[in-house]
Structures are given as structure tokens and as C-alpha cells.
Structure 1
Amino acid sequence: MSHASDPAATPDRPRKHRNPVWASIREILIIVIAALVISLVVKTFFFRAFYIPSGSMEQTLQVDDRIFANLMAPGLFDLERGDVVVFRDELGWLPPVAAAPSNPVRDFFTFVGLSPDPSNQHLIKRVIGMPGDTVECCSANGKLTVNGVEITESYIYPGDNPSDIKFSKLVPEGKVWVMGDHRGASADSRYHEDIQDGFVDISSIEGRAAVISWPLNRIGGISGHDEVFANVPAAVK
């Protein structure tokens, strides 16, 4: 047989055979490294995992639900009334928490963005008022109004009132007014008027909650309920 088509092989230097074990290990390493790089890119620019520690967003979100938030909103995608958002607790709404004990497996999944980071304090609420909106409670019919229009909030926890606290707020530029869906169990904008008048900085928002990823029987999208705000006029700028 001629070796003319194989310059690496000669009668004096036979062609080397590839070690199948090393080849398999190399392929696995390439796949793992690629997966890590993709995970880090996704975590940094696209989606991040969070978990739900309280019942303030029931029934939309349950305690211990795991979600993924779209990090491109706000940013490439605009925020809208009704969006469920995750934001950093930069104003001290939450009490301090003790550091969780180290766990190598959990730390790894947190690093690649597949598990929530327990060391960071975040909250999750629904945006009710955008910059320029006037949000009031309550109308003669017991409903919230946005820019003078009553809204029927289909996402509120069964049996809850839209609010047991009266308020009237004009949302400043660069901020939002947020409320939990479980109004009777949510320490939201209404309860923090002593801190920045209850408003949350848009710059503190990590992203828009997009998908419930765990438990398996609750996997699905998280609705912004556009229909609730469909008749609300544009904010006054």
C-alpha cells in the first residue's frame, strides 16, 4: 500500500494511532469549558437565577419557587407597567441576613449563574407606576387608579384588597412604584415612604422575572398582565 497520500506516514515512520482514552477526555474538557463560558456569558448579559423567599408575590410566585430573570430589561427591552421585577435592596428594605455556610457544589452553580446567590439581598415586586404616572388608592370602588383610570388587578391574592393603605403618588423620573401581588403580606412601596418616599430606582432593577424554572409542576412564563393596564393613558412627562 502506498503512503503517498499520507505524508506523516512512511515505511520507517508508521502512522501514530490516537489514544481513544485521551481523545475522550479532551472532548469532555472542551465541552465542559464551552459550557462554563456560555453559562458565564448568559449569567452576565442575559438571564440569572433567583429564588422566592416569601409569600409577597402569591399567587403568581410561591415560596421557594426558582425563577430566571431577563437581565436585558431594563436595557435592550423597556420596562412596562405590570412587569414583575427583581431589584437590589440598595435602600435597606430588608433586614441584614447572616452569611450562609460555604458549600462547594452550591458555590459552583451560583458562580455559573444556575443557582441564586444567597449573599445578595434582592426583592421581587410588580411595577404599578412608571415615571410620570400618578398612582392612587383607593377609588370609590375600592380600586387602584393609574393616571386617573381604575384598574382591575386580576393577579391579586384572593381575598386581598388592592390596598388597605391610602396613598397618592406621582412617580419621579428614574423611579418606579412597586407592589406585591399578595397585598396583605407584602412590605412594598407603601411601607417604605420614609425611604425615598417608597420609590425604587430603575438603576437598582436587575431584570424582569421571565420564567419559573422550579418546581417542575410550576414551570412556565411570568405574565405582566398587559390587559390590566390597557386603558391607562400615557404618563405625563
Structure 2
Amino acid sequence: METQAEHSERDRSSEPRTGSEEGSRFSRFRGAAAVVRPWRRRVLVVGVAGAAGLLLFSAFVVQPFLIPSGSMEPTLRVGDRVLVNKLAYRFGAEPERGDVVVFDGTGSFVREDLGANPVAELARGAAASLGLAEPPDTDFVKRVVGVGGDRVVCCDAGRLRVNGVAVDETYLHPGDTASGAPFDIVVPQGTLWMLGDHRSRSSDSRDHLGSPGGGMVPVERVIGRVDWLGWPPGRIGGLQGTGAFDGVREPGRAHG
């Protein structure tokens, strides 16, 4: 009898465990999953909120831009990420001579593309607004050389004359002159005359003299002023200003 009892105990111990123990394990698993899911949801919500906040910040305050070409060398180099101050001209102030600005060249530097895919443009714009992609083909970065009413003439011994005053452009790329092609223009009110610092490599207002608008960029097309360099680490800091136009007279007092 004892032998049979021992066999019965061994037989029951060797049977697979079912019932309450499995239910207990399943309950523990469900409990752990229930803890994980809210954590994942919180991370997702925080991530989405952070991205939305960053997009809003870049839309209205400061927007990073990736520099895709060497047209502004040596001031800005290929691969630089600049931070554009979008509040610089929001409260009555307007771009000044010498400012480095980012602007939408639609209608001045490029024709409006009516066949563009709006969804693709929106996605690219969002990536560009975070500095993760090159800016749209319609966005440019140049230096303001003439404002409304200015007469800009080239060249006087290789230098620009603005309102009759010769400008010493120390920011030009080494070896470049003010322009390889002469021009004599008067900037209409409400527009800007834009040139790149690497004049021999820059497609700017000079290239659109014969186009509608004559290469002039409407002030309302300016996105913001380049105030800071955000990348690479060795170049992080504020963008150095220029005193090249300090001696330029206002249009009403121009002579020469």
C-alpha cells in the first residue's frame, strides 16, 4: 500500500502544471504588459508634443537652415547649420544693408512651380524646418546690399558704390571682386538687392536683371536674419556683423 501511495504521489508530481498556476502566470504577464503600455503611450505623447513644440518654435521664433552651397563663403560654408532669427523683422524693423538673410525667392529668383506636390513639399518643409534636410529650392541665403531707394553701381576699382559711396566689402571670398559684370540699378521701395559673398560662385540678383522684377526681392519674402551658427561645433556662435555700409548715405542724400 505504501508503495502504491508513493507511486501515486510521483505520478501526480510528474504531471504538467495547469489550472491556477498557469492562470497566475498569465495574470502576472498581463499585469506587466499593462504597466508597459502606459509607459509607451507616455513616451509617444511626450515625443509628439516635443516635435510639435519644436516645429512651432522654428515656425515663429528661430529656424535652423542647412547651407547647401558655397555661394556665401567664407561667411557660411557648405554643411553649416545656421539659426535664423524670425523675429528680427516682425515688429516694424526691416532688413538693413549688410544683413545676411534667408528669403523665399519665389517670383524673384525662381518661378512659382504650380505643379509641385503639396504633400511632398510639406514633408520636405517640415524636415528643413528642423535643419534635417536641405531647404526648399525656393529658399536662398544672401547678403542685403541695397534697400529701397538705394542706387547700387558696380564697379569702381572693383568695388560697389551705394548711393555714391564706395563700399569696402571685407567679407568677400578671397580673390573675388565686387562683380564680374557691371550694373547700375535703383532698388524700388519695399524690395532688396541681394548678393552672395562668393561673388564668382553666387547666383543672385545680378543674374535676374532681365527677369520680371529685375532680381529685386520683396521685403515680405524675407524669412529671417541669420544671427547664429549652430553647427559644426568649431563654428558655433554669433554671426559676425559688418561695418562695410556704415558710411553709406540715405538715398535722398546720395551723390556721385
TM-score scaled by length of structure 2: 0.71
1:209 alignment partner, SS class: strand
Q: Which of 68, 83, 96 is equivalent to 1:80?
A: 96
Residue 201 (1) aligns with residue 229 (2):
no
Please name the residue that 1:210 is paired with: 227
Q: Which of 133, 138, 157 is equivalent to 2:150?
A: 133
Which residue identity does 2:227 align to in structure 1?
Answer: A
C-alpha RMSD of matched pairs (Å) = 3.2
Q: Offset at 1:40? A: 2.5
2-side partners of 1:23 and 1:85: how far apart?
A: 45
Which residue identity does 1:59 align to in structure 2?
Answer: P
Render the CA deviation track for 1:15-72: whole Å, top value 9, x for unaligned.
xxxx987886676566435523431221221111211111110000111211121112
2-side partners of 1:114 and 1:142: how far apart?
A: 36
Please name the residue that 1:58 is paired with: 73
Matches within 5 A, 1:32-51: 32-51=47-66
1:213 alignment partner, SS class: strand
Q: 1:95 to 1:199 in 2, by over 3 A?
A: closer
Render the CA deviation track for 1:138-175: whole Å, top value 9, x for unaligned.
12x33111111111011000010111211111110110
2-side partners of 1:185 and 1:40: how far apart?
A: 32
Assess if the C-alpha contact under 8 Å between 1:134 and 1:170 holds in 2: yes
2-side partners of 1:23 and 1:234: how far apart?
A: 64
Please name the residue that 1:183 is paired with: 199
- Structure 2: which 5+ residue stretches go unaligned? 1-33
1-side partners of 2:111 and 2:196: how far apart?
A: 18
TM-score scaled by length of structure 1: 0.76
Please name the residue that 2:9 is paired with: none
Which residue identity does 2:218 align to in structure 1?
Answer: D
Q: 1:30 to 1:127 in 2, by over 3 A?
A: same
Aligned residues: 214
Which residue identity does 1:81 align to in structure 2?
Answer: R
Render the CA deviation track for 1:83-102: whole Å, top value 9, x for unaligned.
111111213635999x9xx9
Assess if the C-alpha contact under 8 Å between 2:229 and 2:238 holds in 1: yes
1-side partners of 2:46 and 2:172: how far apart?
A: 45
